[in-house]
Structure 1
Amino acid sequence: MPVWAVMICTALLQLMPVKTFAQSPETDPPPLILSRLTGPIELDGFVNEPAWAKIDSLAVVMYSPIFMGQMTERTDIRVAYDDQYLYLGGRLYDSDPDGIRANSMYRDRYSGDDAVALILDTFNDRQNGLWFSTTPNGVRIDMSVSNDLDALGRNPFDTVINMSWNTFWDAATQITDSGWSLEIRIPFTSLGFQTTDGMVEMGLSVTRRISRKNEIHEFPATPPNWDLSYAKPSKFRRIQLRDINVGRPVYITPYVASGAEQYSSLSDDETQYDLQSDWTGDVGGDVKYNVTNNLTLDLTVNTDFAQVEVDDQQVNLTRFSLFFPEKRRFFQERSGIFEFRTVGRFDRLFNTREIGLYEGNSVPIYGGARLVGRIGGWDIGAINMQTAAAHGNPSENFGVYRIRKQIFNPSSYVGTLITTRLSSKGNWNAVYGLDSRVKIGSSEYIDLKWAQAFDETADSNAPGANGFVRGQIERLTQIGLSYRLSAAWGGTEFEPGIGFVSRTGFVQPFVLAGYGWFASDRSKILSVRPEVLFTQFLRSSDGSLETQIMWHSWSLEMKSGDSHTFQLEARKDDLTEPAEFPEDTEIPAGRYTFYNFNWDYMMRFGRLWRINASTEFGQFYDGSNIQIEVEPTWNLSRYLEFGGTYQFNRVRFPDRDQGFFVHLARVQSQISFSTAASVSAFLQYSTAADVVSANVRFRYNFREGNDFWLVYNEGRNTDRLQGDPILPSIDSRTLFLKYTYTFIR
């Protein structure tokens, strides 16, 4: 679709009738003064203490399926505090208690359960939030939100919601004949905030999800004009707490670990693989100290991440590297402060997975420090870590330093990010970036970014070779017209040493436009949203076309909670050298134009058995591709959940009599004996990598910060004849245990 057609479609969409809701006022109502508890609260899930009776209920309203519609069940939620904790108490009435969804007991896993969430903008910056959610089984789920949840054109759970973040807090629940009830208790020491004249101000949002009805209640009343509107910190209700005297405890978390490892290594004469065995043992630990109520220092010695869940295998049918999300806890707190994205979904100036990992293998970390928080209107962050020599790499030092200042309004800032990477052999890489984001309307923003990457191996460190610049204007809303217009340029030597960059030497124009509206109250459809995208990557050396992508999509969200997305894509790729794919398949150099169609279906989370599915078919360079993916999940009981993914790709090039099949299968099970004890098993098989791998983890969580882990990993080669000498059946296997205990001083 040419650019002029995109513009005409966008203009026509503006003429369509649209059901919208009034925007939230730019001026906040007076802060809600939270009441202090007048007596003790026993955290048992029964909201029956006399102190609760003196706390007013929040004025919740229906968020979906019909904003401000008639709530089908009564919701009574109260928030209060004492000297040490912030509390939430809730009575969640239900006319059909047997219909309450309590699907899982697995920590940090949402499986379509009913839930209550408390989200706090503790910085009071209208950009960041801490998300505390509890299900009827008492499962605790905590996440963090950044960038005011603005993720137009991207999945917020890939970009601005960090599900790996954890902190110290408690929850208790009860299921009764009239519904269920809960109590949440969060230590003030787990919340970063600033005190002014004995008063603390922050933002608050509370939601209740009735899963089987796809019904959400919220406070405050925020119209669904944005994706997950109720979780946008800029729309939260301001609250005030007075006379909080919070101490600054020190959390000291030592660990001990031991285990056995077997791995295959090539013999000295390189004629066979031998199975080697090792016993390992290690000690180390972390220290967390709140320098102020809003500034946290983390120290780590001999850092160990062995209990972290393994990465998902992925199928790569592109010419670029795959991106994997960060799951290690040390890097999670306030991680949004360090965000500096360049182009696309994943490219960024700082990627934490460059630290302590090399080609998927763990690299020992001697130790490091991390400082993050807010002072006045300044966001600050600093990381410095030292890794050991491993896998042929020398010992390295990593430094990351971030400063960001609010300007004009709470949603605008200017900042800088500096990264350094220094090896013991004298190799170095240094990067600086300048960025600014300015809110110019109710939903309109301007972004400007500039960066340079200096490397001792670069042919040139001149700005024309190692620089990056991007300008962008966007309108962020799910209802009515939204758009993103940007232009970016990256030099041929722009290689951030601790970043993730898929392309260099490019100029990129980018246009994304969409128009969304709500269907009538009587319709089974909740909302409709068509979008169009046009972008190019031009070679900065001569302006020639490298890649062009155009697509048009329609997204339908049903009141049942199901959703459909249909997308038609046209793509051009200019290959200057052959592209290699599995089974010795090779695409010759040349310019290619190809088209494909994609359909995605997502079933409502609340079903005990549900399935997500997608299919894509069409041309692939000078051949064809069919891709089918299914992702079923089955909650047999609150103790047991099965899930899996199967992806099939068939790629054919008839003119060259070439092609390949790719099968990717994942099977997962979660067994929860209680909210403290659980087992997860993860089996993966990929014909692209010719491996099958297993990861089994047992965890007993005595309390937050006190864990016992028993973990087993195994990797096997499924095509032993692809190598010379013959590859071993067992690539590696490990069995280890780890115990951590947190002392609070």
Structure 2
Amino acid sequence: MIKRLLFLLLLMPAMRSLAQDADFFKPDSVRRQLKAVKISTTINIDGKLDEQEWALAPPSPQFIQVEPNQGKPTAFETRVKVLYNQKYLYFGIILNDPLGKKAIRATDFIRDFDFMKHDLINLSFDAFNDKRNAMVFATNAYGVQRDLLAFDDLYFDIDWNGLWEVRTARSDSGWVAEIAIPWKTLRYPKRVDTIQSWGLNIYRNRRLTNEISAFSPFPRVFSATHMNYAGELTNLQPPPPATNIRVQPYILTSYDHYSNLGADVKPQSTHFKAGGDLKWAINSNAILDLTAHTDFAQADADLQVNNITRFSVFFPEKRQFFLENASLFGVGVSQFADGSGGAMRYQPFFSRNIGLDDNGNPIPIVGGGRFVYRSSNLNYGAIVMRQGGDNDLPGTNFFVGRVSENFGSQNRIGALVSVKNQPGVSNVESTVDGFFRLGESQSINAILTQSTTTNTGKKGFGGVMQYINSTNQYKIWWTESLITKDFDPQLGFVSRKDIIGTTPGMNYYYRGGLLPFKSLIRAFEPGILPELYYTASTGKFAEMSLAFYPIWFNLQSGAYLGYGFTPTRQHLTEVFAPLDVNIAPGDYNYTVHNILLSTDPSKIINLMLDWKTGTYFNGHLTSADWKLQFAPIPHISLLGEFNQNHFTGVGEQKVNKNVNLYILQGRFALNPRVQLTGIYQKNSFDNADNYNIRLSWEFSPLSYVYLIYNRGVAGVANTLTVHPQTEDHLIAKISYLQQF
């Protein structure tokens, strides 16, 4: 009965506004076109567009606003020209601005930069014209690269790195980007006809006014990778897909120093290591990746989290080999960036279970491979890896197999099998999944998995189904989860076990005439996010929260301000110990108040705050997450983070204490190819200090020299009588990429 009432509560205002949502439009039957021109010469990529060949290419049609005034012409002209020869596809892009380079915003030189902090131009290609897959290349005004693969505008390989080149120039009239993408980097069909047309969309963010404009317009609720709204790049005559092999060997040497780790640990040692990766694009559809003595020394350190919830923390994958083509294997259901979808997260395959222990420490990977086949109808692939033995952990074999079939306009069904094999025991997961578009705005995503562990004979089930209805005026969702007590996905991730979850919700988007201060405020977006959980093994109530955000303003600058409160009811059947505060079993009712704010994220100084206060179980808790960035020029970026949890009278012992986490990140760049980065983390929870410093030089596209220093100081109970345990690691690594 409660579920039905909640559903009607959410559905009625959405249905009333459906007929009024005139701004939400379907794709135009006549696609906008941009003609490419073939040349026989080579373009020098320097950001100047001074070759006479650029005069041969016709410019793109006038861009149209997506934000803030959807459908209106942009006030800032963007002209795009396209050339190509037998090796490269070239883009010359002129981004005019009456304020010139004074208007340009950029906060750092990190690859795959935050698009909310930079002026940028973004290219999305649909070479197979299936209107669901996209290869994306973007650059900011300083030539920093951002690239990704997108599927169904739902799954993204954000950390995919393609081999391409860009240079930019800034002037008093705006900025210019000159881009060269090798045909070997792109994936396109081998056709009998010589002239091809590809799906293409291009969007620009003029960050000073936070205006997004596009070559082919799309509803603002979507992104530019929603490729059924794309235009066309015409008159292409690419060379037939040929042998395409990328080899990237590396050599590495390291010095390790340990203090107070015990007599069985050598105080110092040196190591030499060699290995590498091979990527073979067998044809336009199939790619084989092989790796030997896989190394991830240059991967970013995990940022620590002090968790006060009953949900497990999800740490993202940061290792390049596993990030490639991750979306084929990485199906899952999780909370979206806007808070919609519910807190439950389930992913049948999670690559961090390979080569890392439970604490995120590396375990040697002997080698392995990945094969992926993608087409407009059928996708399949497999991963095979061998993990070496480490301390008490035996050598382990991993296998993941995946197949999915596309049907209809944008529907998909699939299956996934994963096996973790160790001496005497195997853990097997068998998954079926589906994604179904019920129209331009509605979709259903479903995943059902059975896990089996051979030595215990235990079997478990995990299932999640999520409905989304997203338009320009509202977003409603309904997520149902069932995770049994014995569910054990050793190659996957689930945020909570032994649970039945119901998480509906609604965000409402208002930009009408009653909105005050429209020069400052872009939208009023209140939301309600209820969550209800029962224990699966007993059927008894476990937890309920009713988060309501009556105030949420998105500002024209990209800043936001919100206030919400969350009445919560908890039923604990065993001791719950967040940050070592023991809370006894029982029933608890409490309410948390939440203030969230962000200043303009593209400014030299920008601030984010997530502040919560209120009752917490049998006491009181105030927690705050502060993030302050100082970026006086794009070459220098400092980001400080402070997380505080202040307990008052909480738990069995009526605990009063503070737990503080400090994180400082710095980035110093000569240019996008030479950068010094550092992370310092100090956590009062375990008195630990960690440093990670990395100097990187990209001396050739995707070829690097790294110098890395890592230091870890483990906390101790009494530093006056016990010396802290320390680890120091100095690493030098060279990797070189050659494409044949």
User: Normalising by structure 1, what TM-score?
Assistant: 0.91
The 3-state SS of whatever aligns with 1:327 is coil
The 3-state SS of whatever aligns with 2:321 is helix
Deviations 1:573-608, CA, capped at 9 Å, x for gaps? 2211111244x5310011212211112112222211
- Over 3 Å counting, the alpha-carbon distance change for 1:110 and 1:25 in structure 2 is closer
Match of 1:546 in 2: 542
Distance 1:665 1:378 in 2: 47
| Residue in structure 2 matching 1:697, options 679, 694, 699 | 694
Distance 2:463 2:312 in 1: 22
Q: CA RMSD in A?
A: 2.6
Q: Which moved more, 1:127-136 or 1:412-421?
A: 127-136
8 A contact 2:346–2:495 mirrored in 1: yes
Distance 1:605 1:18 in 2: 35
Match of 2:559 in 1: 562
The 3-state SS of whatever aligns with 1:234 is helix
Distance 1:442 1:13 in 2: 15
Distance 1:242 1:309 in 2: 40
Q: Which moved more, 1:109-118 or 1:658-667?
A: 109-118
| Residue in structure 1 matching 2:480, options 475, 481, 487 | 487
The 3-state SS of whatever aligns with 1:11 is helix
8 A contact 2:10–2:506 mirrored in 1: no
The 3-state SS of whatever aligns with 1:357 is coil
User: Displacement, 1:28?
Assistant: 4.2
User: Displacement, 1:256?
Assistant: 0.5
Mapping of residues 517-532 of structure 1, within 5 Å: 517-520=510-513, 523=518, 524-532=520-528
- Over 3 Å counting, the alpha-carbon distance change for 1:514 and 1:104 in structure 2 is closer
User: Displacement, 1:215?
Assistant: 1.8
Distance 2:106 2:483 in 1: 49
Match of 1:260 in 2: 255
Mapping of residues 206-355 of structure 1, within 5 Å: 206-224=202-220, 226-227=221-222, 229-240=223-234, 241-264=236-259, 266-267=261-262, 276-341=267-332, 344=343, 346-355=345-354
Distance 2:132 2:721 in 1: 55
8 A contact 2:260–2:724 mirrored in 1: no
User: Displacement, 1:731?
Assistant: 2.2
8 A contact 2:183–2:238 mirrored in 1: no
Deviations 1:478-536, CA, capped at 9 Å, x for gaps? x2343222333222221112001232232222312232232349713212222222232
Deviations 1:392-451, CA, capped at 9 Å, x for gaps? 111111111111111121x1011111111111x222111111111221222122333321
Match of 1:78 in 2: 81
8 A contact 1:564–1:600 mirrored in 2: yes
Mapping of residues 464-475 of structure 1, within 5 Å: 466-475=460-469
Match of 1:664 in 2: 661
- Over 3 Å counting, the alpha-carbon distance change for 1:673 and 1:726 in structure 2 is same
Distance 2:655 2:570 in 1: 19
- Over 3 Å counting, the alpha-carbon distance change for 1:728 and 1:141 in structure 2 is farther
User: Displacement, 1:280?
Assistant: 1.0
The 3-state SS of whatever aligns with 2:12 is helix
- Over 3 Å counting, the alpha-carbon distance change for 1:33 and 1:100 in structure 2 is closer
The 3-state SS of whatever aligns with 1:337 is helix
User: Normalising by structure 2, what TM-score?
Assistant: 0.91
Match of 1:152 in 2: none
Distance 2:531 2:453 in 1: 30
Match of 2:149 in 1: 144
Distance 2:20 2:687 in 1: 51
Q: Which moved more, 1:680-689 or 1:562-571?
A: 562-571
8 A contact 2:599–2:607 mirrored in 1: yes
| Residue in structure 2 matching 1:619, options 615, 620, 624 | 615
8 A contact 2:258–2:266 mirrored in 1: yes
Match of 1:154 in 2: none
- Over 3 Å counting, the alpha-carbon distance change for 1:450 and 1:362 in structure 2 is same
Match of 1:400 in 2: 400
User: Displacement, 1:625?
Assistant: 0.8
Q: What amino acid maps onto 2:397 in structure 1?
A: N
Distance 1:311 1:52 in 2: 45
Distance 2:625 2:449 in 1: 38
Q: What amino acid maps onto 2:569 in structure 1?
A: K
Deviations 1:441-471, CA, capped at 9 Å, x for gaps? 221223333211111144533xxxx223344
8 A contact 2:190–2:241 mirrored in 1: no
Q: What amino acid maps onto 1:600 in structure 2?
A: L
Match of 1:412 in 2: 411
1:506 equivalenced with 2:499 (yes/no): yes
Match of 1:184 in 2: 179
Q: What amino acid maps onto 1:381 in structure 2?
A: G
Q: What amino acid maps onto 2:363 in structure 1?
A: V
8 A contact 2:411–2:437 mirrored in 1: yes
Distance 1:467 1:717 in 2: 38
User: Displacement, 1:101?
Assistant: 2.5
8 A contact 1:485–1:510 mirrored in 2: yes
8 A contact 2:39–2:84 mirrored in 1: no
Q: What amino acid maps onto 2:356 in structure 1?
A: L
User: Displacement, 1:212?
Assistant: 1.6
Match of 2:135 in 1: 130
Unaligned runs of 5+ in 1: 150-159
Unaligned runs of 5+ in 2: 335-342
User: Displacement, 1:17?
Assistant: 10
- Over 3 Å counting, the alpha-carbon distance change for 1:588 and 1:677 in structure 2 is same
Match of 2:508 in 1: 515
User: Displacement, 1:146?
Assistant: 3.5
Distance 2:503 2:333 in 1: 13
Deviations 1:671-693, CA, capped at 9 Å, x for gaps? 10122211001111111232111
Q: Which moved more, 1:356-365 or 1:596-605?
A: 596-605
The 3-state SS of whatever aligns with 1:196 is coil
Identity %: 24
Report how many residues are paired. 719
Distance 2:454 2:165 in 1: 50
8 A contact 2:450–2:487 mirrored in 1: yes
1:634 equivalenced with 2:630 (yes/no): yes
| Residue in structure 1 matching 2:54, options 52, 55, 66 | 52
The 3-state SS of whatever aligns with 2:46 is coil
Distance 2:48 2:641 in 1: 39
User: Displacement, 1:311?
Assistant: 0.4
Deviations 1:362-390, CA, capped at 9 Å, x for gaps? 01100000112314511122111101001
Deviations 1:68-95, CA, capped at 9 Å, x for gaps? 3353322112234333322221111121
